[in-house]
Amino acid sequence: MTFAVAASTSLAAMTWASNETQKTATPYMVADLSDKILYVHGTDSVGMYDISTGKDNYPTPTGSFKIRKLTWNPSWTPPDSKWAAKKKAAGPGDPKNPMKVVKIFFKEPDYYIHGTADVGSLGYSESHGCLRMSADDVMQVGMWVMEHGGQPQEENWFMRLIHSRNEEKVIYLSKPVPIRVQD
């Protein structure tokens, strides 16, 4: 096996090239809630990313799901929940927006993978049910999901999107990407 560290702030964000016998036919993801790791299985590589999972009062749902939609530069509206009572809505690109650069929906409408500014929470159960990642890592995973979900884009498309963070961009996948969320 050959190891190469991905450009990321996450300690667990690394990829490695597999030999021919380890290749998978269908890309998929596994979120391991006990290890707090998101595994991204491509056709010839695997990525590992640190995640934060739901608190005891707000557990992350387990099961097999399909990612069908992403929102780049998402706005954020506080949910109708006690923990969010004093929170204020934040538009796309707002530094106070807890979603950061992309929301990757795995159980619509309320559960998704998204970025966080609180990278110290990664590896712990600190979310309200979603899977949190560093902003750089969730961008990489979002790009991967689009590529394997039938909506690939050139790198400059993502750079334009990220540098003009004032507008949401919703992407529907033509080939939903499977994700298993397990304890």
Q: What is the DSSP string of 97-131?
A: -TTTTEEEEEETTTEEEEEES-GGGTTSEEESSSE
Q: What mean pLDDT, rounded, does the chain reach?
A: 86
For residue 29, the model assigns a pLDDT of 97
For residue 49, the model assigns a pLDDT of 97
Q: Do 139 and 101 touch, CB atoms closer than 8 A?
A: yes
Largest CA distance in the chain: 53
Instruction: Please tell me the pTM assigned to this model.
Output: 0.83
Query: In the chain, what are the domain boundaries?
Result: 2-182
Q: Which two tokens stand for residue 49?
A: 């990313």
pLDDT tens-digit profile of 108-143?
Answer: 998 999 999 999 999 999 999 999 999 999 999 999
The fold adopted by the segment(s) 2-182 is L,D-transpeptidase catalytic domain-like (2.40.440)
For residue 37, the model assigns a pLDDT of 97
For residue 102, the model assigns a pLDDT of 95
In sequence order, which residues have a C-beta less than 8 Å from that of residue 179 and are 6 or more positions away?
A: 28, 29, 30, 31, 64, 65, 66, 67, 106
Q: Which two tokens stand for residue 43?
A: 């056709």
Strand order in the sheet with 28-32: 2-5, 14-17, 45-50, 37-41, 28-32, 169-182, 63-72, 102-107, 111-116, 131-134
pLDDT tens-digit profile of 62-113?
Answer: 999 999 999 999 999 888 888 888 889 999 989 889 889 999 999 999 899 9
